[in-house]
Amino acid sequence: MLSFEHRYATLPEPLWVASQATPVAHPELIAFNAPLARELGAQDIPDAPTLAEWFSGNQLPPGAKPGALGYAGHQFGNFVPQLGDGRALLLGEVIDQHGKRRDVQLKGSGRTPFSRGGDGRSPLGPVLREYLVSEFMAAVGIPTTRALAAVTTGERVVRQLPEPGAVFTRVASSHIRAGTFQFIAARQDEAALKALADHVIERHYPGAASADDPYMALLEAVVARQAELVARWLSIGFIHGVMNTDNCSLAGETIDYGPCAFMEQFNPQKVYSSIDEGRRYAFANQPAIAQWNLARFAETLLPLIDGEGDALVEKATDAIRHFDPLFNAEQRRLHADKLGLEAESDQAEALMEGLESQMHQGRMDMTATFDALKQYVASPSDQRREDVLALTQNPEALGEWLTQWQAAQVASQNTDRLAAMQRANPVVIPRNHRVQEAIDAAVEGDFTPFHTLLAVVTKPFDDTVEARRLAAPATENEQVLRTFCGT
C-alpha cells in the first residue's frame, strides 16, 4: 500500500535501533484516514482486518523496517540524557504526492530498547485524543503530525486502573526533535552530530546547505518555524501541556498530544496538564518556553557553527533572540485576521490586548467570543451585538471595547478581510469535555461519539446544527479541568 524508504536508518546508532512490535491479542480497526493514505501515495487500500493487523504491529506492512529512535530531553526543565521511543516504532519513510518525505510511526506497539521498564503500550484514551486533536489542527492549517490509523488491541493496559489498549499510527514530516540533538551532544559524538544536522538540512531546510555557515542557517530556520508555530497555537487557545525539548519538532510541527487541551474560559495562566504542577507550560508561557527549548538546541550545534569562544556563543544567542520579533510579527498578523482588521493594522495589538483583558475579567469563552465577533461582522445587527455581550459578566466594559473595535475593523466592508476572519475563527474546537465524552463512550465499546466528533472537528469552519451542538461551551458540571499524559 505504501512504498517505504529508510533514509533515517542509515544514521549512526543509537539514533535508530532496530526493534520489533509486540503482537496483540485481537486487533480491530477504529479509524483509518484514507485521504491521508492516498496523499502518502497509497493506491490500493486493503480491507479493515488487514489494516488492523498492519497498524497494530501484528504484521509488518510490505517494505516496513521498524526501529525505535533515540533522543534525550529536558523534562520540565530537568535534563534526562536518554529517553527515546519507549513505546513507538518508526516503520519507515514515504514520499508523498508533493514529493515530501514523511515518517510513518506506530505508537503503543510494545517495548523497545528505550522502554526503561515500561510496557510500551498505550491506553485507548490517548490514542483517540491524539487522533481528534491532530486532525483538527491540520484542518485549521496549523503544522502538525497527522493521524493515519487507530486500532484496538483486545488487551488491557494497566495504568491507575486497567484500561482498553490501542495503537496509534502517526505521520510526521520527521520525528527529529531538539532532544535528538541533545541525545548525541551528550555523547560528545561530533561525527554523529554532523551527520544528523546534515540529514535535517537535506530533509527540512535545503536552502541552509548553500549558506556560508550551514549550521547557523539551520538554527535560524528552526527558530523561525517554531516562532510561527507557537503564535498559531495561541491564536486558537491551544495549550500543549508538555513542551519538553523532546517534544520540540525540528520540522516545525506540533508533536505529542498527551495532556494537551484547548482553553475555554480565557486565562493567560491556564494549565490543564495534570503533570504540570508548577504551571511551567501555562498558555501564556509557551512562547518563552519555546525560546528556552531553542536555546538548548542551539547549545548542541555550537561544535558545528563557525566561530569560537564568546563570539560563537553570542552569534548563536542572537539567533535565539530573533525568536521574539518573528513571533510578534506572526501574532500581529493573526490578531488582525481574528479581529477583521487590515493585515498591517497598527491597532491590532492594542485591541487584542483589550479583548483578552475583557475575556479574562468577564470569564468569557475564547472560541465562542471570536465566533460571535465573526458572526457580528458577517451580519451586523443589534441582536448580534447582544449575542456578544451575553458572553461576558461585564457587558458595560465589553460594550466600550466593541465600540472601539467597530471603529477600527474593516471586514464588514472588505470581503477579503471577512474571509480571513472566518478562516481564523473556527466554529468548533475539540472541547475537552467532548473529547472526554468520546473517550468514555469508547471505553465502554461505543465509538459513535468519537466518529461524530471527528467528522465535525475535521470541518471546523462549517456552521451546521451538529457543529453548533458540539461547539457549545461546557456547563459547570461538564468541565474537564485536568488532562493526562498517555505514557
pLDDT tens for 278-337 read: 999 999 999 999 999 999 999 999 999 999 999 999 999 999 999 999 999 999 999 999
- Rounded to whole angstroms, the Cα distance separating 432 from 70 reads 32
- Using the predicted structure, report yes or no on whether residue 439 has a pLDDT greater than 90: yes
Rounded to an integer, the average pLDDT of 65-90 is 97
Question: Which amino acid is it at 220?
Answer: E
With 0-12 CB in 10 A as exposed, 13-18 as middle and 19+ as buried, what is 342?
middle
* Separation of alpha carbons 246 and 183, rounded Å: 10
**For residues 216 and 380, what is the distance between their CA atoms, to the nearest angstrom?**
50
Q: pTM surpassing 0.75?
A: yes
**pLDDT above 80 for 431:** yes
Contacts for 457-461: CB closer than 8 Å, 24+ residues apart:
457/132, 457/135, 457/136, 457/139, 457/428, 457/429, 457/430, 458/135, 458/136, 458/138, 458/139, 459/139, 460/136, 460/139, 460/140, 460/426, 460/427, 460/428, 460/429, 461/422, 461/423, 461/426, 461/427
Distance from C-alpha of 178 to C-alpha of 245, rounded to nearest angstrom: 6
Burial 439-470 (b: 16+ CB within 10 A, else e): bebbeeeebebbebbbebbbbbeeeeeebeeb
Q: Is the pLDDT of residue 198 over 90?
A: yes
How far apart are alpha carbons 63 and 151 in whole angstroms?
A: 20
Sign of CA dihedral 387, 391, 393, 398: negative
Are 70 and 14 within 8 A, CB to CB? yes
pLDDT attached to residue 312: 97
CA atoms within 13 Å, Cβ hemisphere of 431: 25
> Residue 120 pLDDT > 80, yes or no?
yes
CB-based contacts of 112: which residues, under 8 Å, 6+ apart? 17, 19, 68, 84, 85, 86, 87, 88, 89, 120
Catalytic residue among 103, 189, 198, 246: 246
Q: 246 catalytic, yes or no?
A: yes
3-state secondary structure of 487: coil
pLDDT category of residue 51 using cuts at 50, 70 and 90 = very high
201-216 pLDDT per residue, tens: 999 999 999 999 999 9
In the predicted structure, residue 161 carries a pLDDT above the cut 90: no
Residue showing cell 475535521:
458
Q: Where are the alpha helices (DSSP H) in 140-213?
A: 178-185, 190-204
| Distance in angstroms (rounded) separating the CA atoms of residues 255 and 243 | 9
User: What number is the average pLDDT over the span 368-395?
Assistant: 97
Cα–Cα distance measured from residue 322 to residue 474, given in angstroms and rounded to the nearest whole number: 39
Report the 10 Å Cβ neighbour count for 82: 16
Closest CA to 82 of 92, 101, 98, 69: 69
Query: 3-class SS at 81?
Result: coil
Cβ atoms of residues 122 and 486 within 8 Å: yes
Q: What is the identity of the amino acid at 442?
A: A
Closest of 121, 86, 108, 96 to residue 170, by C-alpha: 108
Rounded to an integer, the average pLDDT of 23-30 is 98
The whole-number pLDDT of residue 487 equals: 55
Mean pLDDT value across residues 239-259: 97
What are the grid coordinates assigned to 29, written together? 480497526
Selected residue with higher pLDDT from 161 and 148: 148
In this structure, what C-alpha cell is assigned to residue 50?
Answer: 488487514
Report the pLDDT value the prediction gives residue 398, as an integer from 0 to 100: 98
* Gap between the Cα atoms of 349 and 46, Å rounded: 51
Mean per-residue pLDDT, 343-352 = 93
170 vs 460: CA distance, rounded Å: 21
Quote the pLDDT of residue 413: 85
Q: Average pLDDT, stretch 473-479?
A: 91
